[in-house]
Chain A
Amino acid sequence: MALEIPKVSYSGKIREIVLGKGDKAITVGGGTSYPFYLFEGQMPLKPRIAMEVYDSPPDDWAPTALEPFADVAGDPVAWAKKCIDTYGAEMIALQLVSTDPNGENRSAEEAAALTKKVAEAVDVPLIVWGCNNAEKDTEVLKKIAEDCAGRSLMIGPVTEANYKQVGAVAIGYEHTVIASTPIDINLAKQLNILLGNLGVPDGRILIDPTTGALGYGLEYGYSVMERIRMAALTQEDERLQFPMVCNLGKEVWKTKEAKQSRDEAPKLGDPAKRGVLMEAITAQLVLAAGADILIMRHPESIALIQDMLNDLLAA
């Protein structure tokens, strides 16, 4: 007698969300089973990777991370183009770190002008990520939404503190919001409800469950992502059936281990590979937990993940 493997019965489906506009637009979501459980359901749309571009020249990056972008580091437009032309990026994520009031504190106007330049220079879907200061992000993202009207950006992080203001401009100027909550399924659900009540269409919401790097709280994010997926797929939790975004490149590469040189950490192996592998493993794990969009930094870790995706999704 053949062994009958028990199957989970799914009642839900992840919403399909269109990112960007025109020929290069990408659709994510659509899953009807746990990630890569192709024996139980479908994963019709492959998870996608957005390559990071920074709005100001990085000053504390590991040499390995900086090396591929050394020639474009001060020029976000060139950087974005290099990601696409040289590394085949299918999406770009512009990280607006320099708007941080505790750092360079660049104005909303400057950030918007820069975003507009990048948005005009590339035709792939563009994610715009603020500095994680709700008040400043509100100001910055509002201005960007206005100035890039109709460009269908993905803007975030949108939090409970600023969902009204950022949600409103997203509706008015037709962008997608990245609803960000601190590793908590109920808060994630609540924010999605609030965005819906505000009038943000369901086709324009993505979840950012908050991602930690490998060794830095990844497991917390992992289990919340898992639970979000379980709720969405098996418990008919309609307000959680949105694709998830993981902004992980930034988290991995800021860890001590990713930055240490061979002299500083002689036992941790080749620093040229270390950060790349840490990023790839983090990415691999969040994919297994249900991520649909990854924001990543290093071309080599991205290549590893693309390989893995191709293998896992091969029919």
Chain B
Amino acid sequence: MSKIICSAAIRGAHNIVDKAEQKYQEALDKWGPDHAVGFPNTAYYLPIIYGILGVPVSKLGDVRPVLEKCRSLLPPLVSEKVWLPYLAPTLEAGMATFFAEEIIEAIRYLEYPDFYTKQEDPIGGNIWLGAADDIILRKRGVEFVDGTAPGFAAILGAPPTKEIAAEIAKELQEKNLYVFMCAENNGVRMSEQLVEAGVQIGWPTRLVSFGSDYTATVFAMGFATRAAMSFGGIKPGDFRGNLLYNKNRIFAFAMPLGPVSDEWYANAAGAINWGFPVIADTPIPEILPTGICTYEHVVSNVPHSEIVQRAVEVRGLKVTVSKIDIPVSYGPAFEGERIRKDDLYLECGGGKTKAVELTVSRDMDEVEDGHVEMIGPDLDQIKDGSKLPFAMLIEVAGRQRQEDFEPILERQIHHLVNYAEGIMHIGQRAIMWLRVGKAAVEKGFRLKHLGTIMHAKYHQEFGAICDKVQVKIYTEEAKVDEVLALARKIYAARDKRVDRMTDETEETFYSCTLCQSFAPSHVCIITPERTGMCGAYNWLDGKASYEINPTGPNQPIVKGECIDPVLGKWKGTDEFIFKASRQKFQTASAYSLVHDPMTACGCFECIATILPLCNGVMIVNRDYLGMTPCGMKFTTLAGMVGGGEVTPGFLGVSKHYIASRKFLLAEGGLKRVVWMPQMLKKELEAKLKSRGEELGIPNLFDIIADDTKGATEEEILPFLEEVGHPALTMESIL
């Protein structure tokens, strides 16, 4: 920790404890040790002292041991010559500061019973509210728990003008934060500035004018300490539990505005104990590395226009956007809407113009949250029936940069844009196609609003992985070309990365138990090379879904020791299956249809099964309604193998898995496949061909029989023999 900060904080703490001792002595002389002392209407005594030390102060006499504790916590003043790691003693000095300040404030209640209004609002000329009583605590504390108010800003001092004060207050309010104000900067106080600026203050507007003095900081800290006791079940005296509760759940920070005095430093040091970082507008030394706080501890010299945004980032507060500010309706009801030629105002992509959409992750400082920019003509600058080149570049940043999630986020563009009334979106990447209807344009819809939508929805649905979102929309050919070139590079890198990812390279797989709602013992194990059988969840989806919803149906499975690389069995997956199937199954193979195949739920894209005569495997997809060589149609098969049961010889598979290198590895892989409906073959043509090349059987695609060759084993066998299908000479599948 910075020596300057430490020495100043420790000096400040000494001053404050001295002052408390003096106040206590005076009060004792005047009222005697049995006189009641405390904050009004609370069961938490002096809450910081009670919460941290477990000491209930109710009489003046109870104060003495607390002051003694302060003395014992106070480190000696820092000398010029010696430099020790000062973090721990400084934090202790910060604690002593708060105990002492609570004592000072409690005695103030004795000396001047009407100094504070003791209510939610200012009364007449008195704007100082003082400690929140238990009724306010409950009512407001609930908002901290349910997230309607994620936390608070404890502001000391005041910005240079009342306009800036109003601006900062408004920005904090917009982030749903409470603003707890105290202390003066050169005789000016932010609460007073707000009143002058005509801003309504008090608990109802979340602009809480706690007190005129810096010692009123303890009302903010006491509020947090009580919240932990009352909502977190933390026992008085469990200081560790209390501080951690606050660090993890109350998104608060201290914001000193104006020159930082020794006493302010002491208060700041105290706040750091609670995990509340300090964001200052003056050039005080910074303390960046993390340790007590989640991220940085002290960040300084931040311009007023950026201070709220910076504070929110440093504290790791998630932005919530509750309303999507666009002039057309928005919701799933509009997803399937088509825009016909006659209603068309603008068309982009779809083979008519160049068009591309791209989501990329950036570093935190490269993205300005909420920034939406339109480069090129928007809808009000073009004629009805126009076509334009189009590029949408969405840049997201999170505290943890997760390039892995780019494709998942990008894939959402399709339905998120489609939700807007009067807008039609088809496809993705560089084959996207956008249509905007006349009615939407008449209502005031502009292309720029696509950015508004994406910003809001990424925050709403992917807040766990996106902290900042900015969107640029281009309709100028040259710019679109630039984005297109960038996109091509990124797509290539992404595809390569996914391609390189194998079940061997990743240590963690993901589960999916979504289908347990109708197939109680079903568990999908999703590996990089084996997607969920419905085809809707690949490994990255599993990972993202877990990050977004950690208690949801996709859980990480550390695969652990490999039991059998050919069957695809690991210790970790077996343990997971045992638990997640509620002890119904002990094991499952990821790559076999014969030996301990996975359970099947019912929503598999395809079913694979054995054709004994051909010594091979056939695959049929859900959309194929005809008869298959195993003697059953898809529907009959599905009725046989679903419901979360294991049926050796039958396996639910996704289309994607068919072209995987791990497809039925135990049975010999893709070479075993002797029949598929032609429609499925066509759909997978490119992938199957390239897998055939890889396997050294370049004509594999052509020698897999399909419904044009026959729908019984007897019909297709001659064809297989004629083309020399490898399955015929492989070892017996049974």
Contacts and interface: CB of A to CB of B under 8 A. Distances in A.
A253 B142 CA distance: 37
A146 B139 contact: yes
Contact of A186 (B138, B231, B517, B579): B517
Contacts of A234: 583
A201 interface: yes
Given A164-B146, A186-B513, A186-B517, A172 B231 contact: yes
Contacts, number: 60
Given A164-B146, A184-B517, A199-B231, A235 B141 contact: no
A230 B520 CA distance: 13
A140 B97 CA distance: 43
B248 to A, nearest CB: 11
B587 interface: no
B199 interface: no
Interface string A176-214: 000000001111001001100111010000000000000
Interface in B566-582: 579, 582
Contacts of B142: 142, 165, 168-169, 171-172
Interface of A: 142, 146, 149, 164-165, 167-169, 171-173, 184-187, 190, 193-194, 197-199, 201, 227, 230-231, 234-235, 237
Contact of B145 (A172, A194, A231): A172
Contacts of B143: 168
Given A168-B146, A184-B516, A199-B233, 9 more contacts: A164-B145, A168-B231, A169-B146, A171-B145, A172-B141, A186-B516, A198-B145, A234-B583, A237-B582
Contacts of B303: none
B145 A167 contact: yes
B553 A186 contact: yes
B583 A235 contact: yes
Given A190-B551, A198-B145, A227 B138 contact: no
Contacts of B579: 235
Contacts of A168: 142-143, 145-146, 231
Nearest to A163: B146
Contacts of A197: 551
A109 to B, nearest CB: 15
B377 interface: no
B582 A230 contact: yes
Nearest to A169: B142
Nearest to B249: A199
A199 B138 contact: no
Which secondary structure dominates where chain A touches chain B?
Answer: helix
A247 B624 CA distance: 44
Interface string B456-479: 000000000000000000000000
B626 interface: no
Contact of A149 (B138, B516, B520): B138
Given A171-B231, A185-B520, A199 B582 contact: no
Contacts of B516: 184-186
A1 to B, nearest CB: 31
Given A190-B551, A227-B582, A199 B145 contact: yes
Interface string B116-158: 0000000000000000000000110111011110000000000
A173 B138 contact: yes
A25 to B, nearest CB: 20
Contacts of A201: 233
B230 interface: yes
A172 B135 CA distance: 10
A171 B553 CA distance: 27
A186 B522 CA distance: 12
A167 B146 contact: yes
A201 B520 CA distance: 29
A258 to B, nearest CB: 29
Interface string B517-554: 10010000000000000000000000000000001110
7 contacts: A146-B138, A164-B146, A164-B147, A185-B520, A198-B145, A199-B233, A230-B582
A135 to B, nearest CB: 13
B482 to A, nearest CB: 43
B376 interface: no
B232 interface: yes
Contacts of B552: 190
A193 B551 contact: yes
A172 B230 contact: yes
A58 B148 CA distance: 36
